[in-house]
Amino acid sequence: MHITIKDIARHCGVSEGTVDRAINNRPGIKESTRRRVLEAAKLLNYKPNRIAQSLATGRTMTIGIICFDLYNNFFTSLIDIIEANAKSKGYFINLILTHRDRKKETDGIQYLVERLVDGIIIFPVGIGERYVEYLKSIKRPVVTIYNKISDEFAHISVDDCSAMSDAVKYIKSKGYERIYFITPAIGIQEKNGLNVYTLKRRLNGYINGLRAYGINHDPLIVEGMDFDRAFKNLDLSQKTAMLCVNDTYALEVMRYFRERNYSIPGDLGIMGYDNIDVLKYIKPRLTTIEYHVEKMGELVFNTLFDLINGKQVPPEILLDYNIVEGETI
């Protein structure tokens, strides 16, 4: 027997409109009534007709997520949390990976638009005026995370510049005199027209920290993972630390030096950024910067949800962070 909204309304002694508002998470009913209706729907094994719902409401109850890759464990965790928050509001997600390719990003967005998603969350690699105009043309709510595109789209991230500056301050407080910054190839990515907003924010935070906290050397920047070339003439006559743009790079740096019989932190210190889950299995425990990925995922989805429902949202939200004192600094 196919259970309908009418059956649930009869079971609960409420109107069909009340059931519709409860199931589709619309305002206008008491929370206790909403819970009672949802419990009845579960009890009666109600299966919504998604096509009929879409025709009636103009919504598909789906959202899209465009992400450049899952290489950084942080992105996997964040998408899990976004998906859980979406599910709690009755939404399903479509995930598309672009592998840091601008064409794949726009192709993915077009794919989602053609499937009538209600909104899109983007970890963007695209940038520029033409890209902004394209995103405006799709007539869908958009929230960006990690890299920023424009003030015209809601953006959620961490205060990366301040975080890296504070990391320099922390490293200096531990007696280090020379601090390298390890990052992907910002210059090459920027030359190829990719969005490097967050990488540059973290780099600028490092440079600001050197100036603010009395580190008496020019910026020492290593772009990419050709560590043999970068550290060929490494001078450890001063106490030296490697400040890495994320934990993934920090673990690569740690592996490189430990394979060459360097002691961490005896010979040099290493600090990361993100506090990814895998760190709990790594010894020595990496010193890193942490922010609340659960809060970020919740904010990202709720911001998109509010936009879908026609509400005003802040143009940018920057989350707080803290330093996790591990064993590598």
Structure confidence by residue, pLDDT tens digits, 219-228: 999 999 999 9
Query: Which range, of 4-8, 236-240, 320-324, averages the lowest pLDDT?
Result: 4-8
Question: What average pLDDT does the segment 214-237 reach?
Answer: 93
The residue whose two tokens read 């928050």 is 85
Which burial class, exposed, middle or buried, applies to 311 when counting CB atoms under 10 A from its CB (0-12, 13-18, 19+)? exposed
3-state SS assignment for residue 57: helix
CB of 307 closer than 8 Å to CB of 119: yes
Say which residues have a Cβ less than 8 Å from residue 177's Cβ, sequence separation at least 6: 215, 216, 238, 239, 240
Mean pLDDT rounded to a whole number for the chain: 93
User: Cα(239)–Cα(114) distance, rounded to whole angstroms?
Assistant: 56
Which burial class, exposed, middle or buried, applies to 319 when counting CB atoms under 10 A from its CB (0-12, 13-18, 19+)? middle
Nearest of 42, 10, 37 to residue 25 by alpha carbon: 37
| CA angle in degrees (0–180, nearest 5) for 136-137-138 | 95
Q: Is the pTM of this model over 0.75?
A: yes
Sign of the Cα pseudo-torsion (147, 73, 95, 315, in order): negative
Confidence of residue 46 (pLDDT cuts 50, 70, 90): confident
Sign of the Cα pseudo-torsion (189, 193, 198, 203, in order): positive
Confidence of residue 98 (pLDDT cuts 50, 70, 90): very high
- Does the pLDDT at position 139 exceed 70? yes
Question: What average pLDDT does the segment 262-280 reach?
Answer: 95
CB of 79 closer than 8 Å to CB of 65: yes
CA atoms within 13 A on the CB side of 227: 19
Could you give the domains of the chain? 5-48 (1.10.260.40), 62-157+293-319 (3.40.50.2300), 160-290 (3.40.50.2300)
The pLDDT score that the predictor gives to residue 55 is: 54
3-state SS assignment for residue 50: helix
Name residue 270's beta-bridge partners: 242
The pLDDT score that the predictor gives to residue 191 is: 86
**C-alpha distances in Å from residue 197, one per residue of 49, 123, 186, 257, 293:** 42, 11, 10, 29, 19
Query: Which range, of 47-56, 116-125, 211-220, 283-292, averages the lowest pLDDT?
Result: 47-56
| Peptide bond connecting 314 to the previous residue in cis, omega within 30 degrees of 0 | no
Query: Which range, of 28-32, 155-159, 167-171, 310-314, averages the lowest pLDDT?
Result: 28-32
- 49-58: long-range pairs with CB below 8 Å, 24+: 53/24, 54/116, 57/24
* 84 φ, ψ (degrees, to nearest 5): -65, -40
Q: What percentage of the chain exceeds 70 in pLDDT?
A: 97
